[in-house]
Structure 1
Amino acid sequence: MKKIFFVILLCCFSVFVNAQQKLEALDKDLSTVVYPFKVHFLSFNSQNQPLKMAYMDVKPANYNGKNIVLLHGKNFNGAYWERTIKALNDAGFRVIVPDQIGFGKSTKPQYYQYSFNQLAQHTKSILDTLKIHKAIVLGHSMGGMLATRFALMYPEITEKLILENPIGLEDYKALAPYQSVDKNYQSELRNSVESYKNYQLRFYYDNKWKTEYEPWLNLLAGWTLHKDYPIIAWNAALTTDMIFTQPVVYEFKNIKTPTLLIIGTRDRTALGKDRANQEVQATMGRYDVLGKKTQQEIPGSKLIELEGVGHLPHIEVFERFIKPLFDFLKN
């Protein structure tokens, strides 16, 4: 009996080790990761230091004269737009996909005063370099907050605005106690492969894991296995503070750009929810409510609600996401 138990235990351990071996330890620049399209870099100085910002510039064979910028969320980088890029490219759109400073293949500074204004300015610098004077802007999650700031700062450039399950549809600092950057950092350091997967299962995929989700988990969780992880965690702590302290919700009424909201209504993402009291927690991240409220705030905006979908529609239900996007782009 003991021998059988030992054999079973050994097999389980072997499976665990093999699973761990599949996940590569990733350095801060993702230097071993190949993105779906060629990566370019824009070098510039900001806040008294040299920085490099990675981006993909994917030109179609049948260019329709339209350009679209895709802005990633906080737990992602430009690579997770792969399927969206291909669909847009096939339809004739030139697609520009940056990794923001602090994310993906871009520089991870030791010290940086993050702001959505600063990130919007960096994004515009890429467009200026490419001599692009008009662009559609699509932002997911944190990228939705950045896309909103970009549209407010550069309305003459922003042809259309699409917000896919953007965070920041409520003012987190009015609902939950503030947490310092130092505490954010300690929290980030506790992240692991398991914690990231559990988070994604719960908030993105309704506890239904598919192998197609693995690359987007690995690009995030692989960092936790590398000696560079402290600088990744530090930048994540700084950008968390940016999100918490720089709401865009009060400025939706000032958006002049034609806007589409694509909202997965199962989503309950809200920064600081775990620090709020139970009564407030129940009201936070209610995308089934926040989508409608935001649509009323943004003049002339359109709302598409994806029932039963979580925080990541373009990965979880691509076909349901891409159809309303194309309908909006055609008009």
Structure 2
Amino acid sequence: MRASPFLVACGLALGLAGTPLPALAADEPLGIALEGFAYPYPVFYLALTRDGEAQRLAYMDVPAGGTPNGRTVLLLHGRNFPSSYWETVIAALTAAGYRVVAPDQLGFGKSSKPVGPFTFDTLAADTTALLDALGLPRVDVVAHSMGGMLAVRLARTAPERVNSLVLEAPIGLEDYRFTVPPVPTERLLRIEADVTADVYRRQLMTSYSLSLPEAAIEPFVSLRERVKGSGEYPRWLRSFVNSYQMIWGQPVVHEIPLVRAPTLFVMGERDRNAPGRAFAPEPLRASMGDNAAHAQALAVRMPDGRAEVFPGIGHLVHMEAPSRFNATVLDFLDGH
């Protein structure tokens, strides 16, 4: 069930007047909560408080299709993507009988943008609050990139809530503090403010070693450009930069061997993504981001972990190899 009256429909869901909200033109500025950008399923909101301010956590809650199996999968997104990029995964999971809940964490997608420091503990608490509001005592978790770091923290702080865990190309498989020095927030704000569409497109294609055509990531490039037209863009920018500081300063790699839930790493062979590499001393950069090898080494140290590596694939496994990814995830979930 949903936690009315705190939850309201938006996005592709019916608006308050009972009619669909209109979509904005492809080049029109967006609000920092992606107002006017359509998600593939109805979007709901949970009221939260962060930094003394009222916040709204956006999420999709998609019922199982066919014959429901009584289980729910929680999808946790990466830093550079809204939860809408789970569309094909949601379709596969619901077709197999799973209910799917896909939130935008505070600071991302259609959720509010807090400007105070981010912590994985707070994100995990927000996620637990969402599960409580939806009456979900236990879920299976599929998490990508930064979402993988959050999933590890969730599995450690609320182990009774996590039935099984799929980590798709997670970051945080090494402690970035060992290679990357601290970078002041004000410097990061200046750097991120100067990122153009061409620079961002190149960052996604090269940092993520994607096997996708550029057209496949253009929606994400467009989103970042369009929020620059919002009067609240400085707030979006600070929120985004604060998430980098969380990734750099709050490692989870040391906790991964302690996760007790059955865990599957799904890794792209080409994925060498390493946040902060550009700030690391030149001699250390090449040693960063050996993610597939890190996942394999960590899996054998876990009570119930294993890793599967997809040849020729980069950081966006569920978009680069959707059929194989979905089949692998379903096989794992059905086995637990």
Normalised to the residue count of structure 2, the TM-score between the two structures is 0.88
Encode CA deviations 1:80-110: one digit per residue, 9 max, x unaligned.
101100110111101001110011111112x
The answer to whether the aligner puts 1:76 opposite 2:78 as a matched pair is: no
> Which residue number in structure 2 is paired with residue 63 of structure 1?
68
> Which residue number in structure 2 is paired with residue 270 of structure 1?
274
SS in 1 for 2:89: helix
**Which residue, 120, 125, 132 being the options, matches 2:129?**
125
- Cα contact 2:296–2:306 (8 A) shared by 1: no
Deviation at 1:299, TM superposition (A): 2.3
Superposition pairs of residues 247-326 of structure 1, within 5 angstroms: 247-326=251-330
The answer to whether the aligner puts 1:155 opposite 2:159 as a matched pair is: yes
Q: Distance in 2 between matches of 1:163 and 1:318?
A: 15
Q: Distance in 2 between matches of 1:81 and 1:207?
A: 18
SS in 2 for 1:249: coil
**Which residue, 173, 185, 190 being the options, matches 2:189?**
185
> Which residue number in structure 1 is paired with residue 91 of structure 2?
86
**Structure with greater helix percent:** 1
> Which residue number in structure 2 is paired with residue 4 of structure 1?
none
Between 179-188 and 32-41, report the one with greater CA deviation. Answer: 179-188
In structure 1, runs of 5+ residues without a counterpart are 1-20
Encode CA deviations 1:118-155: one digit per residue, 9 max, x unaligned.
00110111110110111001110000000110001111
Q: Distance in 2 between matches of 1:225 and 1:195?
A: 18
Deviation at 1:205, TM superposition (A): 5.1
> Which residue number in structure 1 is paired with residue 228 of structure 2?
224
- Cα contact 1:43–1:50 (8 A) shared by 2: yes
- Cα contact 1:196–1:221 (8 A) shared by 2: no
Q: Distance in 2 between matches of 1:64 and 1:86?
A: 15
SS in 1 for 2:167: strand
Encode CA deviations 1:239-295: one digit per residue, 9 max, x unaligned.
100110000011112101000000002011111111212221111011232121221
The answer to whether the aligner puts 1:104 opposite 2:109 as a matched pair is: yes
Q: Distance in 1 between matches of 2:166 and 2:83?
A: 16
**Counterpart of 1:271 in structure 2: which amino acid?**
P
Encode CA deviations 1:193-215: one digit per residue, 9 max, x unaligned.
11111111213354752533332
**Counterpart of 1:260 in structure 2: which amino acid?**
L
Q: Distance in 2 between matches of 1:29 and 1:105?
A: 4
> Which residue number in structure 2 is paired with residue 36 of structure 1?
40
The number of residues matched between the two structures is: 310
Q: Distance in 1 between matches of 2:252 and 2:226?
A: 31
SS in 1 for 2:64: coil
> Which residue number in structure 2 is paired with residue 13 of structure 1?
none
Which entry has the higher C-alpha Rg, 1 or 2?
A: 1
The root-mean-square deviation of aligned C-alpha atoms, in Å, is 1.6
- Cα contact 1:152–1:255 (8 A) shared by 2: yes
> Which residue number in structure 2 is paired with residue 15 of structure 1?
none
Between 214-223 and 81-90, report the one with greater CA deviation. Answer: 214-223
Provide the identity percentage. 36
> Which residue number in structure 1 is paired with residue 18 of structure 2?
none
> Which residue number in structure 2 is paired with residue 51 of structure 1?
55
- Cα contact 1:193–1:224 (8 A) shared by 2: no
Q: Distance in 2 between matches of 1:24 and 1:321?
A: 34
**Counterpart of 2:100 in structure 1: which amino acid?**
V
SS in 2 for 1:65: coil
- Cα contact 1:74–1:141 (8 A) shared by 2: yes
Normalised to the residue count of structure 1, the TM-score between the two structures is 0.89
- Cα contact 1:70–1:138 (8 A) shared by 2: yes
Q: Distance in 1 between matches of 2:324 and 2:207?
A: 18
